[in-house]
Structure 1
Amino acid sequence: MSTLEYLRLAGVDDGFFPQHYKELKLRTVLAGALYRGRELVDLRLSSVTVDGDDGTERVLGILRSFGRVDVAFLDGVTVAGFNIVDPEALLDACAAVVVVYKFQPKLEKVEAALRKHFVDWQARFNVIRRTYERSRVVATRWKPMRVTIVGSVVEDLGRLMSYLQLVSSTPEPLRVADLVASAVSRNERILGLLNKAEPV
């Protein structure tokens, strides 16, 4: 048994939301998947405000509920529109954060959009820019992947990424978190109930 099989690996991702949720500051689904090596051992559902400022807090809540997390995976540093997740703040709940970039962000366009819509645009943009500027390309068995590592040094990140690429280039904890959040949030009844209840 390799040491990778002992690692507790989490992925957190957001779900779908209708466009009008932005103006109304409504919430969508946030899902977390916890793996021990390649074995799914836990799932968590929470909520997050579209274009809000509770992203970091919500992701932290999921990670803390898992207990020990060695590495947490994120798809970029935004959830639910431009709700920012600060990977450095997540180190309160895990040893390392790996931010995966499926697409290269166009920072000039991101900055322009933030300036237009948010009073606190600079704080949001600083997290996006700072995290992306620390990114590097890692070779994996599927394809080269651009990632940013925050926290403890992950030995042989390419090996870890490849180990978790079971059916696509996305690490399995992140892929499953995305699948769960997307599936649940596509249910209009669930989204409606989510926005009538107290945030969870």
Structure 2
Amino acid sequence: MVKQFIRALGVDDTSFQLRADAYTSIVGAVYRGRGILEDVLTSIIEVDGLDSTEKIVEMIKGSKHLNQLRAIFLSGITFGGFNTVNIKELYQVLKIPVIVILEKKPDYERIKVAASRTKNYDRIITYIKEAGEVTPVQTSKGRIYIQLSGSNINNALKLISLFQVNSKIPEPLRVAQLIAKIFKRENTLIKSS
């Protein structure tokens, strides 16, 4: 059984201008249960770089929430263009289940073509393969697609449903997306917290 007031983190990225911005920000929203926003974490990542996994780890380890978090929800595995999160490494380092939430199934052929234009193509493809199958799941709020590290589908579904309020997207991730959109409109780089 999953406790009602556990904490989870949702992570999304802010926008950037292609070929103009070298860096962009990631935003993390820490929630306790489905209704209490406890903290907002930020970090800066390189556009199309290889530091998103490291920056998420640093963001969490540098917060007071490291030993409190029971799940990390990611809005996909790529941030800042093709700065791809290694979800296996993220789980191995933090020992917190990683649940990637997608609203639609990725088109991997298009992703491979786009990624081939980056300097880190081989690493990107490796991380995508290591992230495992994208699994469709039905929640009480609607169908989503997930990838997992450190959890099985049953436990992931319990965590997802615990944090769903009015959307199929878990609240920590939904709020991280909303906060990131503010900075997308302002085109602002957020200083690391």
Q: TM-score range by the shorter chain?
A: 0.7 to 0.9
Separation in structure 1 between the aligned mates of residue 89 and residue 130 of structure 2, nearest angstrom: 13
Q: Specify whether residues 166 and 184 from structure 1 end up closer, same or farther in structure 2 by C-alpha distance, changes over 3 A only.
A: same
Give the 3-state SS of the residue equivalent to 2:101 in structure 1: strand
For normalisation by structure 2, the TM-score amounts to 0.86
Contact 2:99–2:156 at 8 Å: present in 1 too? no
For normalisation by structure 1, the TM-score amounts to 0.84
Separation in structure 2 between the aligned mates of residue 14 and residue 172 of structure 1, nearest angstrom: 16
Separation in structure 2 between the aligned mates of residue 93 and residue 156 of structure 1, nearest angstrom: 18
Contact 1:30–1:46 at 8 Å: present in 2 too? yes
How many angstroms does 1:94 deviate by? Answer: 4.0
Report the equivalent of 1:104.
105
Contact 1:71–1:94 at 8 Å: present in 2 too? no
**Deviations, residues 68-125 of structure 1 (Å, cap 9, x unaligned):** 221100011100111111111112224200011222111112112222x223312211
Aligned counterparts, 1:1-200, within 5 A: 3-21=2-20, 26-38=22-34, 39-64=36-61, 65=63, 66-68=65-67, 69-91=69-91, 92-115=93-116, 117-131=117-131, 133-153=132-152, 155-188=154-187, 190-191=188-189
Q: Percent same amino acid at aligned positions?
A: 30
Contact 2:48–2:82 at 8 Å: present in 1 too? yes
**Deviations, residues 151-196 of structure 1 (Å, cap 9, x unaligned):** 14465433332232212111111111111122124324x33xx6xx
Unpaired runs of 5+ residues, structure 1, are none
Q: How many residues align?
A: 188
Amino acid at match of 2:122: Q
**Deviations, residues 104-153 of structure 1 (Å, cap 9, x unaligned):** 111112112222x223312211211332x423222211112211121144
Separation in structure 2 between the aligned mates of residue 61 and residue 103 of structure 1, nearest angstrom: 29
Give the 3-state SS of the residue equivalent to 2:149 in structure 1: strand
Contact 1:107–1:129 at 8 Å: present in 2 too? no
- Structure that is richer in helix per residue: 1
Give the 3-state SS of the residue equivalent to 1:108 in structure 2: helix
Unpaired runs of 5+ residues, structure 2, are none
* RMSD over aligned Cα atoms: 2.1
Contact 1:12–1:174 at 8 Å: present in 2 too? yes
